[in-house]
Amino acid sequence: MKAVTFRKYGPPEVLQVEEVASPKPNAKHVLVRVRAAEVTKADCEFRAFHFAVKWFSLPLRLAFGIRAPRNPILGGYFSGEIASEEPPDSPFKKGDPVFGCSKMRFGAYAQFLSLPRNYTIKHIPNNASFTEAATIPLGGLNALHFLNKLELKKGEHILINGGGGSIGLYAIQLAKARGAAVTVVDKASKRSIIEQAGADRFIDYAETDFTQEAIHYDAMLDMVVSSNLRKCLSVLAPSGRYATGNPRFADLMKSLFNRFYSKHPIYTAFAAESPAELAELKTLVASGQLTPLVDATYPMDQAAEAHRKVESEERNGSIVLEID
């Protein structure tokens, strides 16, 4: 099969298309013919082995390969078709269009992907294309996880700092679906896509420091690594809650001893990406309450360009790799 591989850590140019052995699933696995894979910031970080959250680096280096990647095929979020003959008790049958997560197995930058049948895989919503479906799991599952942690309710006001990325754009839509007011902070070039997602108010961080405004929020989702935690907590109402999708080590420690540090709950736990949560997202997409927002698609032989687009932070929506 064809796959986009990287045999060493480095810049986007280390990505190449090559022929590799097709996976041979066992009886507990399902084989997916991949049609599309979202190109994520995590893919770029693993390729370069350079992480915005620095404390990740050492444990991940030990797990994924010290000098070179043990698994040369990236891609954690995909859509495609079931390619295996399924047993009678399987929820799938051959040819079914599906989408889901390969978790830390990666492998979605390839024509075929073998995953345990109990992984987070669901049938694609009838109103979504392969390209659109591939963008749902990363942004949608993480956004849903954080909004659930924050217990966001109808009538509340949430601030999303760094809301123009994959997770932020889904968080805006999920918050609006729950009846919340949404303010988003990001750079000016992302204003259009953020407003398209449904934000009520946009703040250009280059012009306005939201921590200096006299507005207090019921909840805050922070996707910016360099945020000052104390300043962010200062904009919360007395019952306000805070969650971060990119916790620094100091933030993790503060969340563990939160009762000594702040009166506001601080959530740093990562999303479990469960099948039940993906099923909920599927329902929301099918009902029109969530809309996948795609910036651009790239063929396999332009994977390096797709990575450069993601790393440039100039995308307005998701970047998707189309698998030949």
Per residue in 58-82, pLDDT (tens digit) is: 677 777 888 889 999 999 999 999 9
Does 88 lie in the same domain as 174? no
* Max CA pair span of the chain: 60
CB 108 within 8 A of CB 34: yes
| Long-range contacts of the stretch 11-17 (C-beta < 8 A, 24+) | 11/48, 12/44, 12/47, 12/303, 12/304, 12/305, 12/307, 12/308, 12/311, 13/304, 14/47, 15/47, 15/303, 15/304, 15/307, 17/300, 17/301, 17/303
Cα separations in angstroms, 103 against 43, 63, 107? 12, 14, 9
Does 252 lie in the same domain as 222? yes
Average pLDDT for 197-201: 98
Q: Is residue 15 a part of any domain in this protein?
A: yes
Q: Is residue 160 a part of any domain in this protein?
A: yes
Domain CATH number, residue 194: 3.40.50.720
Lookup: tokens for 159: 């601030």
Cα separations in angstroms, 21 against 3, 29, 73, 110? 9, 17, 12, 10
Length of the chain: 324
pLDDT digits (tens, 9 = 90+) for 106-141: 999 999 999 999 999 999 999 999 999 999 999 999
Does 248 lie in the same domain as 212? yes
Roughly how many angstroms between the first and final C-alpha of the chain, as a whole number?
10
How sure is the predictor about 101, in pLDDT bands with cuts at 50, 70 and 90? very high
Q: Quote the pTM value.
A: 0.93
pLDDT given at position 61: 72
Residue 27, domain extent: 2-135+292-322
pLDDT given at position 233: 95
Of 112, 132, 101, the closest CA to residue 279 belongs to 101
Does 88 lie in the same domain as 147? no
Percent of the chain with pLDDT over 70: 93
Q: Is residue 18 a part of any domain in this protein?
A: yes
Average pLDDT, the chain: 93
pLDDT given at position 60: 72
pLDDT given at position 50: 87
Lookup: tokens for 236: 């919360």
Does 197 lie in the same domain as 98? no
Q: Is residue 190 a part of any domain in this protein?
A: yes
Q: Is residue 275 a part of any domain in this protein?
A: no
CB 211 within 8 A of CB 183: no
Residue 172 has pLDDT above 90, yes or no: yes
Does 104 lie in the same domain as 204? no
Does 157 lie in the same domain as 128? no
Q: Cα-flanking dihedrals φ and ψ of residue 177, to 5°?
A: -65, -25
Does 77 lie in the same domain as 24? yes
pLDDT digits (tens, 9 = 90+) for 231-287: 999 999 999 999 998 867 666 666 667 766 678 899 988 899 999 999 999 999 999
Does 297 lie in the same domain as 220? no
Does 94 lie in the same domain as 72? yes
Does 238 lie in the same domain as 223? yes
pLDDT given at position 235: 97
CB 225 within 8 A of CB 51: no
Does 212 lie in the same domain as 251? yes
